[in-house]
Structure 1
Amino acid sequence: MEQKPIKPTHSIKINELIKFSEKTIKITKGNYLFQEGMTAEGLYIIISGKVQISKITSDGQELTFRICSQDDIVGEAILFSYSSRYLLTAKVIEDGEVALIRKDILEDELFKNSSLAFEFMKWMSDQYRKTQTKFRDLILHGKKGALFSTLIRMTNSYGVQQRNGILIDLPITNQELANFCGTSRESVNRALSELKKDGILSTNKGKITIHNLQYLKDEICCEDCPAIYCNIE
């Protein structure tokens, strides 16, 4: 049975936010919605497609934070900030469309609409909590633990139950996995080879099937956080 997509906070009325948008923009795989350091136009609501949010470290290494899809909001860190530049990079990984909402317009609406402001604050709190748990896993459990944590999160976001396990219905390369874990592709290659050898997972056409999810959870002493926080969206 296919799992329903997990969204950060269901209470935000996306349609209510979209009505404040200045325009909609077609996005194409491989292009950037914005890059770190660029002057910020505003924030974006994803109507369709997928966008990867990441940061490039000082040594050139890419660290991926999340993959955003329909109804997700990106670029939110610019709100109520003195900085007019984006802090992260948003790369399009699947063609689609986004709506642009100017920073000043949304800030004005949040000041005037206490109900919308409250829901937006809850959504921001969810994002902060999710980021905290990702860094916790990386710091406490090392590179291999970060990989296990990422795989668990992916089953919550894109998992489809199969007879032999949970298919992560998202094509992803070992380098992209490494970017989520803050490690090298070679380290991910070795870890995945061990997991395949032990029958914990298998791969087919760029997609991973987890055969023993409990093993991954046990290895990182998983606290079974709600899936609304334990995901990559």
Structure 2
Amino acid sequence: MFEKHGQLLKFDKGSQIFQEGELANDIYLVNHGKIQISKETENGKELTFRLCGKGCILGETTLFTRDNLHTTSAIALFPSEVFLLSKATLEMLLTEQPALLIEYLKWIQNENIKNRTLIRDLVMNGKKGALFSTLIRLANTYGETIADNVIYIKFNLTNTDIANLCSTSREMINRMLNDLRKQKIISMDKGFITIHDLQYLKDEICCENCPLSICRID
């Protein structure tokens, strides 16, 4: 649908795809690359909600609403390609094709569950729980199993990036990551994290073992 009715756009690393507060007249589908979805608070602190890869849809929250402003910002973390489809076109296609509308509703419901579990982990489990759940989500989304219970996360992240995902300070993340490294729960090499004991992280936050379609960072 995006390929047939949309337009392919290319963005360099660091380019802004859309900004919070801008008019939201289009929906985007990531074809290639990595896109960060984030929000800036009044005091200038950045909170990262998603790290999106191929197949992710962006800007979907404004569909079938009168609120035509983006509530988050999207920035290309690497050279990226996205399909742009106008909001009006997508709304028309969905209303004309009931089967497609049902699939869209299933997808948006899944996204809502993802968001609720993310907020739950950030608010209810404290700073440590926020970090552990973020590492688990990263493993589920960008992880490569290299041994039993050992996951290599194929996504380069700075401690600041992780802090933004956890809605906490870089100093706090530095301390918690160092503690995990000393316990040999994780190791880090040039921004790439290897989790050596995924079950430990799950046990510490009483993980509910949500489906992989829910426990993701994209």
Shorter chain as denominator, the TM-score bin is: over 0.9
| Mapped pair 1:218 → 2:203 | yes
| Mapped pair 1:133 → 2:138 | no
Q: Is the 8 A contact 2:122 2:130 kept in 1?
A: yes
Q: Is the 8 A contact 1:52 1:90 kept in 2?
A: yes
Q: What is the RMSD computed on CA atoms of the aligned residues?
A: 1.1
**AA paired with 1:129?**
I
Q: Aligned to 2:78, what secondary structure does the other structure show?
A: strand
Q: Aligned equivalents of 1:19 and 1:143: distance in 2?
A: 44
Residue number in structure 2 paired with 1:40 = 24
| Mapped pair 1:82 → 2:69 | no
Identity over aligned residues, as a percent? 46
Q: Aligned to 1:33, what secondary structure does the other structure show?
A: strand
Residue number in structure 2 paired with 1:148 = 132
Runs of 5+ consecutive residues of structure 1 not aligned to the other structure: 1-15
Residue number in structure 1 paired with 2:80 = 96
TM-score w.r.t. structure 2 length? 0.96
Residue number in structure 1 paired with 2:37 = 53
Question: CA offset at residue 18 of structure 1?
Answer: 2.7
Q: Aligned to 2:34, what secondary structure does the other structure show?
A: strand
TM-score w.r.t. structure 1 length? 0.90
Q: Aligned equivalents of 2:14 and 2:2: distance in 1?
A: 27
Question: CA offset at residue 34 of structure 1?
Answer: 0.3
| Mapped pair 1:115 → 2:95 | no
Q: Aligned equivalents of 2:151 and 2:8: distance in 1?
A: 35
Moved over 6 A (4+): none
Q: Aligned to 1:94, what secondary structure does the other structure show?
A: coil
Question: CA offset at residue 84 of structure 1?
Answer: 1.7
Give deviations 1:81-115, integer Å, cap 9, x for gaps: 11221111101101121111111111111111101
Q: Aligned to 1:19, what secondary structure does the other structure show?
A: helix
Residue number in structure 2 paired with 1:172 = 157
Q: How many residues align?
A: 217
Q: Is the 8 A contact 2:25 2:88 kept in 1?
A: no
**AA paired with 2:214?**
Y
Runs of 5+ consecutive residues of structure 2 not aligned to the other structure: none
Structure number with greater CO (CA < 8 Å, separation at least 6) is 1
| Mapped pair 1:184 → 2:169 | yes
From 25, 33, 39, the counterpart of 2:9: 25
